[in-house]
Structure formats: C-alpha cells, structure tokens
C-alpha cells in the first residue's frame, strides 16, 4: 500500500483558500488519473480539480462546505497495488510520471490541467449510485450538460449592481495565462437524495432558493434536475440567494466568503482609495435602436445576439481611442496608460457578481465583439469563468438597465480609471425637430478617478459615447 496525500492546489492569482462545494468521489472509489474528484469554489470561480494519481480513495479529509487553506491535504489516495482494479490503472499513472503538477507538460506532450480548462482524455469512473440503476440508465456521460439549461440573454446576464466593478479581483496585475479550450461540464451527480440527479451548481441554486430537489421532476438527461426546473419551482422568483428563516428566529447569519467576500473587500478598497466623480447624460438613442434593427436583418447577423449593450461597448472603445487617458490606472509613482482595452462586462451569476473581460477588445470587429460578449455571458452563467478572464480589466460597463433602473453611481474596479453604467431604454416624450415626440431614451452614468480624469476629459468622453448612441452610423463615418 502506498497512500499519498493530495493537498488543495494553488489555483492561481494569489488565492489562499477554497470552499469544498462537492465531492465527486467517495472513500473506497477507484479513480483514474485526471478524473475530476472535487469541485472547489474560490473567491473568483468554481473549478473542478482532477486526480493527480490513479488509485483508490483512502480518505476524504474535509466534508462539503468546509473552507480549506491552500496546501492542506484534502484527500488521500492509495496508489499501491492493493487490488487488481487499482493495479490495472497504474500503467496510466506511470506513463504520466504520476500525473505531474497542474500545468506541467509531460514527455508524451500531455498537460495536467484543471477540468474545464484544457484537454480531457480519460473517462471518469464513478461508484454506482444508491437507488439508481446501473449502466446507461443510471448515469450520464462525462462532459454532457443537462438539457433545458438555456443561457440567459446578454441583457439579463450582464446586469449588475452599482458596485459591480469592485468585484474584479485584486489591483492591477499582469493577466494570467489564458484558459485553453471550452469549459467541460461535469456529469450530473446525485443530490440530497440518491435517486435525484443534479449538477453541483444546480444543487447550490436549489439550496439558495430553498427548493427541495427530491420534490422536482427533472427535464434533463436521465431525469436530471436543471436550472430551469429549479427556477420553475419558485415560479419565476429571482435567483438571488434566498434566506430561509426558521419560525421564531429574529436574526439570520450568512457567512461572508467566496465571491461575496472578495467583492466587499475590493469595493471598500476602491471607494476609499480613489476619489470618485460621477457624471450623467440622458440621450435620445432612437436612431441607434433602428440601426440595431437593420443590423439584425443582415444575412450574416441573423443568428447573432444583438443588444443595445453592443452599441455601448463599441461607443466606449471608440471613445477610449479618442481619449486614451480614460483607459489608465494610478500608482503613487506613475499614471499607466494602457494601449490595449480589456473590456469588462459585469455579469450577475448564481454565485454572485463577477466582471470577466474581453481581452484586446479594441482589435475586434463589431461581429467579433458581439460574439465575444455572447461567449463571456454564456460562460459566466455556467459558473466556469476562469480566473484569468476576471483579471487585467482596463474599463468596465455595468448594465443596470435590465433591472429597470435609469442609471447609478458605480464604484470603480480596482486599478481602473472609469466605469460606465448603462441605464434602461425607455420610450419617453422628447423634443425632436422642434416637436414633442415619443423617442427611445436612456441615461448614462460615468464614474471616474479624479486623480487621473478631470471634469473636462470625463465630460468629453461621456459626450462622445452619447453622440455615438444617438447616431452610430454618422459617428462611425466621422470617427471610424
């Protein structure tokens, strides 16, 4: 017998702890190299961690819901030849040099990776679930996602509270290596009841909303419960965490951890370190909305998600090109003007508010920008946004209009000089060509760091963003 302790790895960007959301294996299970064994939530994202060795699970050191420090052993794996089954898996482990460290490239060219952030070349083996039939009827292939999970629209997913920008982790740092490949979803796993199938994010959503999964009928593969099933159970109630208060209780305590904890720390750090100024501009964007309608009618755009937020993003990118100081950051020694734009878009998810960004957005065509925003939102809603996508942002947009809010005073993300709030688009009476007419109107709110951006610069940038939204075709001809 050769038992090895597997510590919680450093998941990057200086993280020091993680919460164990779900064990994907149990003591006594035979596991393979790179098989997903546990889902862990950090302050930035939820990730699945693969096994470093093949063997048998000897001990699980912490239950679900425990916050564990990086470096603490979380599972012990018997890699010895204690049984024929374990021994049969050893050649695969030996071929990989015991799997190697995460990110290490082995002699045969394979790379040890976090599940969902790179190649997956083995099929995970799980114990037969209690109460579930063995074989295809009781399990789903790894990498499949429950049917019926529909990505929210860009308008719905990118709405954010005024403090949205503050959730960008940390102060300005170099971007982490870009995540490779498309996130791989784990197979549905058993929920509170052995006969109920649901993925970990779905189970967490159900816990937050107070929904008993055992009372639901799943619409996913093999009857698995999906997000839509949980949402239907609460009759359209928002997915914001709900708190169940037992009868007689006068107070409820909610642990401050994960995304919420980092959000709070960054908001406080930003609010009390950068002198904020906010300006507002109300504009008639009727022509802009008509331009979007014409864009949707184009043959190459018929299957593309097009929203007013796309126009706002393009307006911001052109505005930054005209006024580069908007895209900068402050240090005690220098003002660092970025010659690239990592455009952050605040996204509301089941785990809280995050701000992933589109790298080098200034180099993208309008179609590429639309596709990038769609991908950003889809990945964010799946809970698989990699930490690298949430660092290095240079300018952020928060779409508060999806909540029916006219505008607000957003807090700057740490390390950024400005953030734009995009309010609701409403039909309002407006003086147009000397007459009062019904027009599509919105209000923009620009918060900026007054150490870098003075009132003149902030006002000119906001004016030009508004001018683009008012008549994007004319602006493109004049500025493009």
Question: Higher pLDDT residue, 146 or 23?
Answer: 23
User: What distances in angstroms separate CA 170 from CA 13, 40, 272, 325, 399, one per listed residue?
Assistant: 9, 20, 15, 21, 22
Indicate whether 364 and 462 sit together in one domain: yes
- Pick from 357, 353, 350: nearest CA to 386: 357
Residue 144 lies in a domain: no
Average pLDDT over residues 187-205: 56
Average pLDDT over residues 436-460: 95
Q: How far apart are CA 354 and CA 161, in angstroms?
A: 11
Indicate whether 107 and 160 sit together in one domain: no
Q: Is 61 a catalytic residue?
A: no
Indicate whether 39 and 173 sit together in one domain: no
Residue 290 lies in a domain: yes
Q: How far apart are CA 337 and CA 321, in angstroms?
A: 12
Indicate whether 465 and 371 sit together in one domain: yes
Average pLDDT over residues 462-479: 92
pLDDT above 90 covers a percentage of the chain that reads: 38
* pLDDT confidence bin for 344, thresholds 50/70/90: very high
Q: What are phi and psi of 169, to 5 degrees?
A: -65, 130
Indicate whether 303 and 343 sit together in one domain: yes
Indicate whether 286 and 408 sit together in one domain: yes
- Whichever domain contains 99, its CATH number is 2.40.50.100
Residue 13 lies in a domain: yes
User: For residue range 224-271, what is the model confidence (pLDDT) as tens digits?
Assistant: 788 777 777 764 433 444 455 555 677 888 777 766 677 777 778 777
Residue 201 lies in a domain: no
Question: Higher pLDDT residue, 159 or 25?
Answer: 25
Q: What is the pLDDT of residue 349?
A: 76
DSSP string, 54-80: -EEEEEE-S-TT-EEETTSEEEEEE-S
Q: What is the pLDDT of residue 81?
A: 54
Q: What is the pLDDT of residue 14?
A: 59
Average pLDDT over residues 381-385: 80
Q: What is the pLDDT of residue 178?
A: 38
Residue 342 lies in a domain: yes
Residue 147 lies in a domain: no
Indicate whether 448 and 400 sit together in one domain: yes
Indicate whether 292 and 415 sit together in one domain: yes
Q: What is the pLDDT of residue 151?
A: 41
Indicate whether 320 and 400 sit together in one domain: yes
pLDDT above 70 covers a percentage of the chain that reads: 69
User: For residue range 402-446, what is the model confidence (pLDDT) as tens digits?
Assistant: 889 999 999 898 899 999 999 999 999 999 999 999 999 999 999
Average pLDDT over residues 51-71: 90
Question: Higher pLDDT residue, 130 or 16?
Answer: 16
Residue 324 lies in a domain: yes
To 10 degrees, the CA torsion angle through 180, 48, 263, 420?
A: 30
Average pLDDT over residues 331-335: 89
- Whichever domain contains 272, its CATH number is 3.30.559.10
User: 165, 416 in Cβ contact below 8 A?
Assistant: yes
DSSP string, 297-316: HSGGGTTS---HHHHHHHHH
Indicate whether 57 and 161 sit together in one domain: no
Q: What is the pLDDT of residue 102?
A: 42
Domain around 80: 1-127
CA 294 to chain centre: 31
Indicate whether 86 and 27 sit together in one domain: yes
Average pLDDT over residues 168-185: 38
Indicate whether 13 and 91 sit together in one domain: yes
**Burial degree of 364 (CB within 10 A; 0-12, 13-18, 19+):** buried
Residue 216 lies in a domain: no
Q: What is the pLDDT of residue 246?
A: 55
- Kindly report which listed range (229-238, 303-312, 358-367, 468-477) carries the lowest average pLDDT score: 229-238
**Burial degree of 447 (CB within 10 A; 0-12, 13-18, 19+):** buried
Q: What is the pLDDT of residue 70?
A: 87
Q: What is the pLDDT of residue 215?
A: 75
pLDDT exceeds cutoff 70 at 331: yes
Average pLDDT over residues 451-471: 96
Highest average pLDDT, of 38-42, 204-208, 219-223, 241-245, comes from 38-42
Q: Which residue of the set 61, 276, 432, 450 is catalytic?
A: 450
Question: Higher pLDDT residue, 377 or 117?
Answer: 377
What total number of domains does the chain contain?
Answer: 2
- Kindly report which listed range (306-310, 373-377, 381-385, 460-464) carries the lowest average pLDDT score: 381-385
Question: Higher pLDDT residue, 91 or 411?
Answer: 411
pLDDT exceeds cutoff 50 at 337: yes
- Pick from 16, 338, 347: nearest CA to 167: 347
């Amino acid at each position: 017998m050769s038992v090895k302790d597997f510590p919680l790895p450093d998941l990057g960007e200086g993280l020091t702890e993680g919460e164990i959301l779900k064990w994907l294996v149990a003591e006594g299970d035979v596991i393979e190299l790179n098989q997903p064994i546990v889902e862990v939530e950090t302050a930035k994202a939820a990730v699945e961690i693969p096994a470093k060795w093949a063997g048998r699970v000897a001990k699980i050191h912490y239950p679900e819901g425990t916050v564990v420090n990086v470096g603490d052993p979380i599972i012990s794996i018997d890699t010895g030849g204690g049984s024929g089954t374990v021994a049969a898996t050893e050649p695969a482990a030996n071929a990989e040099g015991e799997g190697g460290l995460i990110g290490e490239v082995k002699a045969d060219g394979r790379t040890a990776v976090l599940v969902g952030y790179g190649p997956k070349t083995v099929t995970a083996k799980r114990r037969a679930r209690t109460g579930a039939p063995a074989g295809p009827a009781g399990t789903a292939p790894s990498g499949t996602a429950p049917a019926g999970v529909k990505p929210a629209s860009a308008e719905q997913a990118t709405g954010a509270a005024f403090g949205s920008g503050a959730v960008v982790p940390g102060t300005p740092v170099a971007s982490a290596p870009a995540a490779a490949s498309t996130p791989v979803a784990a197979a549905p796993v058993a929920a509170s009841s052995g006969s109920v199938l649901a993925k970990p994010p779905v189970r967490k959503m159900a816990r937050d909303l107070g929904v008993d999964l055992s009372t639901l009928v799943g619409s996913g593969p093999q009857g698995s419960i999906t997000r839509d099933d949980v949402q239907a159970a609460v009759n359209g109630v928002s997915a914001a965490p709900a708190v169940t208060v037992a009868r007689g209780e006068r107070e409820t305590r909610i642990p401050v951890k994960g995304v919420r904890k980092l959000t709070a720390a960054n908001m406080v750090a930003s609010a009390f370190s950068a002198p904020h100024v906010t300006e507002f501009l109300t504009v008639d964007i009727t022509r802009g909305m008509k331009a979007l309608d014409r864009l949707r009618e184009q043959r190459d755009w018929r299957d593309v998600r097009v929203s007013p937020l796309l126009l706002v993003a393009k307006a911001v990118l052109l505005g930054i090109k005209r006024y580069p100081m908007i895209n900068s950051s402050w240090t005690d020694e220098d003002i660092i003007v970025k010659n690239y734009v990592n455009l952050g878009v605040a996204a509301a998810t089941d785990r809280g508010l995050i701000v992933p960004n589109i790298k080098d957005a200034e180099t993208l065509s309008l179609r590429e920008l639309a596709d990038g925003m769609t991908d950003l939102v889809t990945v964010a809603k799946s809970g698989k946004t990699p930490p690298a996508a949430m660092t290095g942002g240079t300018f952020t947009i928060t779409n508060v209009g999806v909540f029916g809010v006219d505008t607000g005073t957003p807090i700057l993300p740490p390390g950024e000089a400005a953030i734009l709030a995009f309010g609701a688009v409403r039909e309002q009476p407006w003086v147009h060509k000397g007459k009062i007419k019904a027009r599509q109107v919105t209000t923009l709110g620009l918060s900026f760091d007054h150490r870098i951006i003075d009132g003149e610069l902030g006002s000119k940038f906001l004016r030009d963003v508004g001018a683009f939204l008012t008549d994007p075709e004319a602006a493109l001809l004049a500025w493009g």
